[in-house]
Amino acid sequence: MKKIYNFILLSLAMLIPAIFAVSCEKVESSTSDEIQQQILDAWIRVNHPDAKASDSGLYYLSSDEGDGMQLKDSLYVFVKYKCRTLDGNYTDYNYEDLAKQLGDFSYSTYYTYDIWYISGSTLTDGINEVLRTMKVGGSVEVAIPPALMESNTVSYYSLYYYSDDDDANENLIYDIQVINAVDDIYQYQIDCLEAYRDANYPGIDSTANGFYFIKTKSVDYSDNPEDTLTEDESINVWYVGRTLDGFVFDTNIEDTARKYRFYDSDDTYDAESISWQADADDLASNSSIVTGFAKGLTMMQRGERAIVFFDSNYGYGESGSSSTSSSIPAYTPLVYEIYVEPEDD
Q: How many domains does the chain have?
A: 2
Confidence of residue 212 (pLDDT cuts 50, 70, 90): very high
Both 319 and 300 in one domain: the answer is: yes
Residue 221 is assigned to a structural domain of this protein: yes
pLDDT beyond 80 at 239: yes
Find out whether 314 and 210 touch, Cβ atoms under 8 Å: yes
pLDDT of residue 33: 87
Give 225 or 326, the one with higher predicted confidence: 225
pLDDT digits (tens, 9 = 90+) for 130-142: 999 999 999 999 9
Find out whether 114 and 155 touch, Cβ atoms under 8 Å: no
pLDDT of residue 17: 47
Residue 26 is assigned to a structural domain of this protein: no
Could you list the residue range(s) of the whole structural domain that residue 153 is in? 33-183
Q: Classify 15 as helix, strand or coil.
A: helix
Half-sphere exposure of 178 (CA within 13 A, CB side): 31
Both 205 and 101 in one domain: the answer is: no
pLDDT of residue 325: 60
Residue finishing a domain among 183, 206, 221: 183
